[in-house]
Structure 1
Amino acid sequence: MNTEKLSERLTAVAEYIPSGSRIADIGSDHAYLPCYAVKTGAVSFAVAGEVAKGPYLSAASQVKKEGLTKKIDVRKGDGLEVVTPGEVDCITIAGMGGALIASILENGKDKLGEVKRLILQPNVGAFAVREWLIRNKWELISERILKEDGKIYEILAAERGEPLRPYTEENFTAEKFFGPFLLKECNESFREKWNAELLNWERILEQLKEAGHSEGTENKKQEIQAKILMTEEALSQ
């Protein structure tokens, strides 16, 4: 992967960036995504944010190497600390856990006033991202699930709007868990991901059954049984 050809995962993220946007890529690593977006003309300006020194230096080096220092500002800081209100209108966060992405958005809510689109790629725990979007009145407008190098990734795009629009009242819990668009499409990657999760939960449930009885164990068993039932129903479509 380089700034000319992104991974399939980051290419899919880039495809959701509206043309002419000013973006902030949080957790930018080598800044491949903002470099690619600027070089293809998709964005006019980008901030590449990194909290750790090593990745920050890698991003700065890459941007300098590409000759893009006038269009990409590499900044060191935690989450949305690297942007000022009104500076960007699109934010990308890719390659983190869903709970961390939700935390970054929550802690940086004051920076989102003029942001029009969020493009989020949680490695795990997309459920936490969907919950945050609903609570904060962001409408999920599209989702994608894909497999690359043996791993399965989900990408969520959201804009300000009606947070419950993509969901149905009768299937809200499952749609929030699996993704309303992904559940409806139920493609091969979706089935592979949740079949694997199903096997894992069934294995954990057997271990809990052998662990004896306690209030904590029983609660955990009920929680996993509910997930198993919901997943079996999703996969039976």
Structure 2
Amino acid sequence: MKNIVLSERLGAVAGLVKSAASVCDIGTDHGFVPIYLINSGACKKALAMDINEGPLERADEHIREYGLQDKIETRLSNGMEKLQAGEAEAIVCAGMGGLLMKRILEDGRPREKGVKRMVLQPQSDLRLFREYLRRERFFIEDEAEIFEEGKYYVAMSVRVSDDDNNDLYDRAIRELGDVSEADAIRICDRFGPSLILKKDETLKKYLAHEKEILEGILLKLSENEHTERMHDIMDKINDITIVLSM
């Protein structure tokens, strides 16, 4: 049987899993990602979890359709609540806001549950989300930026670390060159250390697009009424300009 065809966004997420004995997909929706991972040989067994019964029922239908009932278990769960320690070497969490994903990780305690790697695709608040990952020693090792149906998405492969070796950030900070370390960390949090190091073409298009939007907003703001917002926008334009000039 042919493997399931994923959207470009979910394909990028699945592609970052690489290889794991067991994977837990949180917020699985239709169950497409675990089906793809099993059929492509990226993992041997998977858990497909969702907070809602409807998506899990659809996931069950698709799992039966591909004959994978013995390799993928579905489970009703609020975030990682029903994941037991040692059940998953890697987790996948995609397609939700960054603050919700942060809360799922805070409540789920992946380190305590023996999770070694996470593939995450937050859809908002990327700077705050990357700051949180750094603080918790969840270190980004690879990223993919995708443009699909008029929107930009970022997927990231994250190592759950027991040390302080944040190699990718260190390399990106050196690559950014003539800016302070604090500024370089902020830029990495904003746009992604791996994407900056790779000089990613989709990131470049996103930055050019974002710069144009921000400059348009700036023209419409009155300095007296919107001083703080103007400064925020100018700071972001400056960060974008630094990365585009690399």
Judge same fold: TM > 0.5, yes or no: yes
Contact 1:3 1:32 in 2 (8 A): no
Residues in 2 aligned to 1:124 and 1:192: alpha-carbon distance in whole angstroms:
18
Residues in 2 aligned to 1:27 and 1:3: alpha-carbon distance in whole angstroms:
21
Compared CA separation, residues 178 and 110, structure 1 to 2 (3 A) = closer
Could you report, residue by residue, the CA deviation over 1:201-236 in whole angstroms, capped at 9, with x for unpaired residues? Answer: 2233233327x52xxx32222111111111122112
Map 1:184-195 to 2 at 5 A. 184-195=197-208
Deviation at residue 151 of structure 1 after TM alignment = 2.8
Question: 2:195 aligns to what?
Answer: 182
Q: Among residues 229, 236, 243, which one is paired with 1:227 in the alignment?
A: 236
Question: 1:208 aligns to what?
Answer: 221
Contact 1:102 1:128 in 2 (8 A): no
Aligned to 2:69, what secondary structure does the other structure show? coil
Compared CA separation, residues 222 and 33, structure 1 to 2 (3 A) = same
Could you report, residue by residue, the CA deviation over 1:157-192 in whole angstroms, capped at 9, with x for unpaired residues? Answer: 111333532222732111121111111222321111
Residues in 2 aligned to 1:175 and 1:185: alpha-carbon distance in whole angstroms:
13
Residues in 2 aligned to 1:152 and 1:138: alpha-carbon distance in whole angstroms:
23
Contact 2:118 2:160 in 1 (8 A): no
Question: 1:236 aligns to what?
Answer: 245
Structure 2: 5+ residue runs without aligned partners?
A: 174-179
Amino acid at match of 1:177: R
Aligned to 2:221, what secondary structure does the other structure show? helix
Residues in 1 aligned to 2:28 and 2:165: alpha-carbon distance in whole angstroms:
27
Residues in 1 aligned to 2:93 and 2:71: alpha-carbon distance in whole angstroms:
19
Amino acid at match of 2:127: F
Deviation at residue 119 of structure 1 after TM alignment = 0.6
Contact 2:23 2:88 in 1 (8 A): yes
Map 1:1-237 to 2 at 5 A. 3-109=3-109, 112-161=112-161, 162=164, 164-167=166-169, 168=173, 170=181, 171-209=184-222, 212-213=224-225, 217-237=226-246
Aligned to 1:41, what secondary structure does the other structure show? coil
- Percent of residue pairs identical: 33
Amino acid at match of 2:238: L
Residues in 2 aligned to 1:181 and 1:188: alpha-carbon distance in whole angstroms:
12
Residues in 2 aligned to 1:160 and 1:28: alpha-carbon distance in whole angstroms:
21
Deviation at residue 136 of structure 1 after TM alignment = 0.8
Contact 1:141 1:166 in 2 (8 A): yes
Amino acid at match of 1:62: H
Instruction: Report the number of matched residues.
Output: 232
Residues in 2 aligned to 1:192 and 1:15: alpha-carbon distance in whole angstroms:
22
Deviation at residue 96 of structure 1 after TM alignment = 1.7
